[in-house]
Chain A
Amino acid sequence: MEFVIHHLLTVIVFTPTVGAVILLLHRLFGGKSEALMRWIALWVAVITFILSLPLIAGFDRLHPGMQFVERVPWIRSFGLNVDYYLGIDGLSLWLIILTTVLTVVSILSGWRAIEHHVREFLIFMLLLETGVLGVFVSLDMFLFYLFWEIMLVPMYFLIGVWGAERRIYAAIKFIIYTMAGSVLMLVAIISLYYLHEQATGQPTFDLVRITENLKTGVLQLDPRVEFWLFLGFALAFFVKVPLFPLHTWLPDAHVEAPTAGSVMLAGVLLKMGTYGLLRFNLPMFPHAAAELTMPICVLAIIGIIYGALVAMVQPDLKKLVAYSSVSHMGFVVLGTFAHTEQALHGAIFQMLSHGLATGGLFLAVGVIYERRHTRLIAEFGGLGQSMPVYTGMVGILALASIGLPLLSGFVGEFLVLVGTFTSPIEHAHAFTVLAATGMILSAAYILWMFQRVFFGEIKHPENAALPDVNGREKAMLLPAVALVIVLGVVPNWFMRKMDMTVLALERRMAGVAELHQPRRDFSNQRVSASTTIVNGQSETEEVTADGNRRLGN
């Protein structure tokens, strides 16, 4: 127990791995029961989820630095200085919870749909969870990169083995795109390692320390170097997000992947991209970030509109949801690069909201795919009559996705829009107006889809007798449905735990001269004003971005 308390993050990250090992041992001892395997995997995922809950309770929302920190020296040979260094802040906290929740429902979604190589499927699901969690908790860049790459392997096989007809094409496209990006990131990480050693004499992959030294000027980067380092990281992340025009792997990967794969892909893997931008690009290379804000915002907005327009005309349900992800994730990127408190809050919140709503929609598509073995919208119609409970649940997820107030999507998108409007960047108003058209377009494509699937007469006789969601399917859809409501009704409870991280990021960018454009009258205040009121209580104390005093050196 003592060990668990002091190594909570390690325990959370590796519990799924332990589960995978148990499934292997089960085989070594000749176990053949697929049901038992499923139950083992499910319980492991549930235990991981339960273990992640103390993170919420124990998270100190006023502590500005990393929490639940674990650090031991790891690799010291070859002149390397790699630490096993974990910790979370307001950015990673909710992403971890999101991951542990979605893994549980993903395993449930494969309960019937996965019929061959069940054990392998479950092992890969659990390893995937370890990889993703590892990415979110690693504070050592070496470790981060390790998890980042490890995570690709199970995902590759999930698509390639249990996918649909064109699975190999999709899997390889996914790998090539991602690898192309991450190779550049590797170069950037290594360069940063040496640059830091040159400047301080201390080689380290410690990203907290490097960030801090970059901020205080201990480590100074030549603008051109900063620019290239920024791009090295950013490209890996943009592919993952995916930012237009690097998105074309996504529709293929989603369509071909099994439901569980799509849920994890949309729900958490895409967030690794935006997580990386917020963890590396903004705090480490703010000048380059400021310099590149304009093209990135333009691409984000193109993505918002383009993704929505293309989603509107998709005949395939999964493709529709996949393109809608391009649109919704555009909001996250826009919020990330608008450099205001509201925009950052909105971006992080939108990551959660999108993970739940879109993850939930993929689960929902899986439900009718299992019944009809087709994802073509035209094959459905009138399901509102045969599957009323299912219709209601999908309805809530769909409305969350189009940003109806009191559901999760509204909070994130509205905050991003507010933050963009009050942003110091050029053309902030035009950007806001253009991004806001996403609100109209998302309503159009989601409602049109909803009408064609659920409303109208039953055109295909097969649909008349479709059974409504069973107990397992309810259990699998309910977490997402319930959470999009909770997030929409009491967003503050979630946002307050992000405050310190958001504030630190916002301050970091506020100090960057490149951002300050001549401003118009009504927005002449910096939204970063030094007072933030948290739960009615005014805090004027200076908060530093580092926060790592407690652990550091």
Chain B
Amino acid sequence: MLKLIVFSPLVGAALIGLGGRRWSERIIGTVGCATVGLSTVLAFYVFFARLLPLDPEHRLIFEPFYNWIASGRLHADFGFQLDPLSGVYILFVTFVGFWIHVFGVGYMHGDSGYYRFFAYMNLFMFMMLLLVLADNFLLMFVGWEGVGLCSYLLIGHYFTRQYAADAAKKAFIVNRIGDFGFALGIIFIFATFHTIRFAEVMARAAHMPTEALWTMGTLTAICLLLFVGATGKSAQIPLYVWLPDAMAGPTPVSALIHAATMVTAGVYMVARTSQMYTRSLTALFIVALVGGLTAFFAATIALGQDNIKKVLAYSTISQLGYMFMACGAGAFIAGIFHVVTHAFFKALLFLGAGSVIIALHHNEDMRQMGGLKKYMPITYKTFIIAWLAIAGVFPLAGFFSKDEILWRTANSAVLPPGWGRALWLLGVITAILTAIYMTRLVVMTFHGEERFRHGEAGSAAGHHGGPLSPQESPRTMTIPLIVLAVLSVVGGWLGIPEGFSAGTLPNWIEHFLHPAIATVSEGQTTMEPASQGSEIGLALGTLLLVVAALVWAYRFYQRQPLWQPPSVLVHKYWVDEAYDRLFVRPIRAISTVLLWQVFDVRIIDGAVNGTAALVRAGGRALRHIQTGAVRSYVVMIFLGALIVITYFMLAGR
């Protein structure tokens, strides 16, 4: 069954990839959606009919497939595992994935690369499901690099455009830097535990002692290496730079890969290996710190962007930062909860942006939007829901998950004293910034003056042209918006904190995920956890601040939607430029001049140049022999052989 869930989209990808060039859009779209739809149905079936009925403490289904690589003690097999964590993942991955495929049918209409798009999207679904259902590290790595490949192919969908090709390459290479860490982490795990199967590694890790802060034990080393992988895939400092550029891909790609699913793989990995992370206070602290800083840092950049998708990209980086902050604080479940709710509202935001972009003939500049709410009512209303959800307004999805993260961080038992509070403060400031940049986006896009008429609309190589009269998108696009809007409202109710309902409502997701996630045990704590009661207080305080920020930002941007943000934010702190100067250019220059032209050609070859000079003279002599007939060559071969043999025999005497 798990096999079928994983391989169904691969079959779709293969069919479309091989035959799609001759098919109509209708057939391609149907095959693409149907194979993903089958995975979705099966995922829900397996989840509810197979996994849920099991004893809550032992919800684990294995499904071996075949031996992939075996050498000595190393066994990396194709084998799948379903537990609560991967269960939650397959539900939202297939579900959101299916609706984004449906959206893609409308969005990609008329695109010359229609079949490529669906082939790669299906391949992505295969790789993503492989990633979350793998029962060992190496198979997870297969999915991990596989989603990276699909991301590369889809970012480069419009490959004739230089910036798309650049962005695709950048995404792959930056991710490879992360994968380098991940691969070393896996090797380290194998060297330590002699196995790479999750179940066995975690069972053995559970017997290892906790490594104190600032000690570099085995687990700390492993966790930090794995986290390098996570910073690549999930776009955290310092490897976040590829994600904003990745917006060069079609918008459904941004929604599926660069918002809802792939970029949360890093969080999945950290949660999957929580048994190891909880035993390394150093690793936890670094994860929390990187997460918190990224959340704040990316939110500030989001304030300064004018491209609608770039704002959402930085927003995604920021929200991913929240998730890591939660994991680092030991609240893995809160992190995963935010992954789920974020998948709903961020996918909705991207699809809504996609709907707008299509209506404006592929213009993504918010300075040339405005006043769209009356032309696109469904897009507008669903977007408003997503806006309030990401801002964290009660009772929408984002409220519960974000609140859970902030509360758990403030009361973290594993962070060094004081740091929980500090990160909490950073989280609250980020929440306020989120409210502001999202309001700016909503106001600039849907409210106020209609600026799309006198802008240079359609300049971004849109494939329609002609005068602009924005229209609501077709049903294949609006239905997914509505579905995701509903989930952005109710998604958060999966995890209503027990402090809220005074224990009358169970926190479902907490209870469900609990057996699959390591919890911080006694003796590891550095401070006393706070009481449940204060959760409501903190949540109310944050909510008040957020609402105040929303109102203020709304009024501010309503008055001056084109207010120029500080240059440092517009230029994203010049990080790209710094990386280029510090790494890209020096490596290229050293390779060209020092290694190749000087070392290889002058020094090494120069050393044999004496020989070479002689050789050239000899070559001139030999050239005469070479113009002869076949027989002379063959004779030479035999002569040569004869000489060797004779020499040998004489030498041997």
Which chain A residues have a beta carbon within 8 Å of chain B's beta carbons? 24, 27, 75, 77-80, 119-120, 123-124, 127, 142, 145-146, 149-150, 153-154, 157, 160-161, 168-169, 171-173, 176-177, 186, 190, 193, 245, 248, 306, 309-310, 312-314, 340-342, 345-346, 382, 384-385, 399, 404-406, 410-411, 414-415, 417-419, 421-422, 432-433, 436-437, 439-440, 443-444, 447-448, 451, 454-457, 490-492, 495, 502, 521-523, 525, 527-529, 532-536
Contact = CB atoms under 8 A, between A and B. Distances in A.
Nearest to A182: B644
Contact of B191 (A146, A149, A422): A422
Contacts of B215: none
A169 B616 contact: yes
B69 A313 contact: no
Interface string B280-303: 000000000000000000000000
10 contacts: A142-B648, A157-B626, A172-B618, A176-B611, A312-B591, A313-B588, A432-B187, A456-B165, A492-B68, A492-B70
B596 A313 contact: yes
Contacts of B615: 169, 172-173, 176
B645 A146 contact: yes
A309 B180 contact: no
Contacts of A313: 588, 591-592, 596
Contacts of A415: 69, 71, 74
Nearest to A194: B652
Nearest to A342: B71
Contacts of B179: 439
Contacts of B72: 340-342, 345, 527-529, 532
Nearest to B643: A149
Interface in B144-203: 145-146, 149, 152, 156, 159-162, 164-166, 168-169, 172-173, 176-177, 179-180, 183-184, 187-188, 190-192, 194
Nearest to B171: A447
Contacts of B81: none
Given A146-B645, A522-B218, A492 B180 contact: no
B611 A382 contact: no
B502 interface: no
A161 B625 CA distance: 11
A80 B149 CA distance: 59
A527 B73 contact: yes
A146 B644 contact: yes
Nearest to B145: A405
A193 B652 CA distance: 9
A338 B74 CA distance: 16
Contact of B591 (A173, A186, A309): A309
A310 B596 contact: yes
Contacts of B605: 248
A454 B146 CA distance: 21
Interface stretch (B361-369, B527-535, B628-636): B628-636
A400 B649 CA distance: 46
Interface string B116-129: 00000000000000
Given A248-B604, A456-B160, A309 B192 contact: no
Nearest to B149: A404
B173 A436 contact: no
Given A173-B615, A406-B142, A382 B595 contact: no
A42 to B, nearest CB: 19
Nearest to A172: B615
Given A248-B605, A341-B71, A405-B145, A309 B187 contact: no
Contacts of B70: 492, 495, 533-535
Contacts of A123: 630, 633-634
A436 B180 contact: yes
Contact of B651 (A190, A490, A522, A533): A190
B173 A447 contact: yes
A121 to B, nearest CB: 10
Contacts of B194: 525
Contacts, number: 212
A410 B76 CA distance: 13
A149 B641 contact: yes
B177 A440 contact: yes
Contact of B73 (A77, A149, A529): A529
Given A172-B619, A495-B70, A417 B187 contact: yes
Interface size class of B (residues with CB under 8 A): 35 or more
A7 to B, nearest CB: 21
Contact of A444 (B164, B173, B633): B173
B468 interface: no
Contacts of B172: 443, 447
Given A24-B634, A535-B67, A440 B159 contact: no
A119 B619 contact: no
B608 A248 contact: yes
Nearest to A80: B652
Given A79-B653, A146-B644, A495-B69, A455 B604 contact: no
A522 to B, nearest CB: 5
A467 to B, nearest CB: 17
A160 B179 CA distance: 43
Contacts of B218: 521-522
A338 to B, nearest CB: 12
Contacts of B242: none
A345 B608 CA distance: 35
Contacts of A399: 149
B74 A342 contact: yes
A120 B652 CA distance: 34
Nearest to B636: A153
A264 B173 CA distance: 31
Contacts of A120: 630, 633
A149 B165 contact: no
A421 B160 contact: no
Contact of A153 (B67, B68, B592, B640): B640
Contacts of B651: 190
B57 interface: no
B527 to A, nearest CB: 31
B642 to A, nearest CB: 11
A417 B587 CA distance: 24
B483 interface: no
B173 A443 contact: yes
Given A313-B596, A492-B67, A525-B194, A421 B188 contact: yes
A161 B73 CA distance: 50
Given A168-B619, A342-B72, A149 B634 contact: no
Given A345-B72, A422-B191, A439-B179, 4 more contacts: A169-B619, A444-B176, A492-B69, A527-B73
Contact of B74 (A384, A418, A456, A535): A418
B44 interface: no
Given A310-B591, A443-B172, A451-B169, A491 B183 contact: no
Pick the most buried of B184, B596, B641: most chain A CB atoms within 10 A of its CB: B596
B576 interface: no
Given A312-B591, A406-B142, A536 B149 contact: no
B160 A382 contact: yes
B652 A168 contact: no
B590 interface: yes
Contacts of A455: 156, 159-160, 164-165, 168
B623 interface: yes
B68 A491 contact: yes
Given A345-B71, A432-B184, A439-B180, A405 B142 contact: yes
B141 A149 contact: no
A444 B176 CA distance: 9
B634 to A, nearest CB: 7
B568 interface: no
B568 to A, nearest CB: 29
Given A24-B630, A149-B644, A456 B159 contact: yes
B562 interface: no
Contacts of B159: 384, 454-456
Given A169-B612, A310-B591, A157 B173 contact: no
